Homo-oligomer: A and B are copies of this chain.
Amino acid sequence: MDKKEKIIDTALKLFVENGFHGTATSKIAQEAVVANGTLFNYFKTKDELVVAIYISVKEDMADFLIKNIKDSDNFKDVMKSQFLASLFWALNNQMKFKFIQQFHTSPYVDKIEQEVTQSQVLPHLKLIQTGIDKGLIKKLPVDFIYSIISSQTFGVYQYIISKQFTKVQQHETVEQTFELLWDMIK
């Protein structure tokens, strides 16, 4: 197996479990069954590793969302498919989702260039803009609506995790939340 990938996977797990600074590089190397020096061959510093994981995880999610855009001419359906896909991904990649949250609320966020982040939300902003142009959702700033939807996603995620829902219950809750959300912005 690719050592770089192994290091990323192991580090992701340990970071989520013990925090960024709470995880020693030696521990990562040890658990990844790799020499200490190998880690630093692939990542010049520990910080570089953290940022690399963030980018990798974000790409992973972005790829999934792109693949799941419902190609319908019904705007609400398209919005819904994206909302469902986001939550589906989060619930099926809890460690990665937690990592993103941890990263976003940590001082590391400042170490990442705006462009990287911006390019990933752009498709979503465009989708929202389309809805506004068609008069299907309220005339509000696109990034305001995006902000609301994102945090709502996070909120439902937390709620679902806190309960021990079955897949069916999870799906019901997500559907229900989208309807609420839609009522709000339509």
Mark A residues whose CB is within 8 Å of B: 16-22, 98, 101-102, 104-108, 140, 143-144, 147-148, 150-152, 154-156, 158-159, 162, 173, 176-177, 180-181, 183-185
Q: Contacts of A176 on B, CB cut-off 8 Å?
A: 140
Q: Is the CB of B107 within 8 A of A17?
A: yes
Given A17-B107, A22-B107, A105-B105: 19 more A-B contacts, CB < 8 Å: A18-B107, A19-B19, A19-B21, A19-B108, A21-B21, A21-B22, A98-B105, A101-B105, A102-B105, A104-B105, A140-B176, A143-B162, A147-B158, A147-B162, A148-B159, A148-B180, A152-B155, A154-B155, A181-B184
Q: Is the CB of B151 within 8 A of A155?
A: yes
Listed residue (A152, A162, A177, A184) with the most chain B CB atoms within 10 angstroms of its CB? A184
CA distance A107 to B23 in the complex (A): 12
Q: Is the CB of B162 within 8 A of A177?
A: no
27 pairs, CB–CB < 8 Å, chain A vs chain B: A16-B107, A19-B21, A19-B106, A19-B108, A20-B22, A21-B21, A22-B107, A101-B105, A102-B106, A104-B105, A105-B105, A140-B176, A143-B162, A144-B159, A147-B158, A147-B162, A148-B152, A148-B159, A148-B177, A148-B180, A151-B151, A151-B154, A151-B156, A154-B154, A180-B184, A180-B185, A183-B184
Q: Contacts of A184 on B, CB cut-off 8 Å?
A: 180-181, 183-184
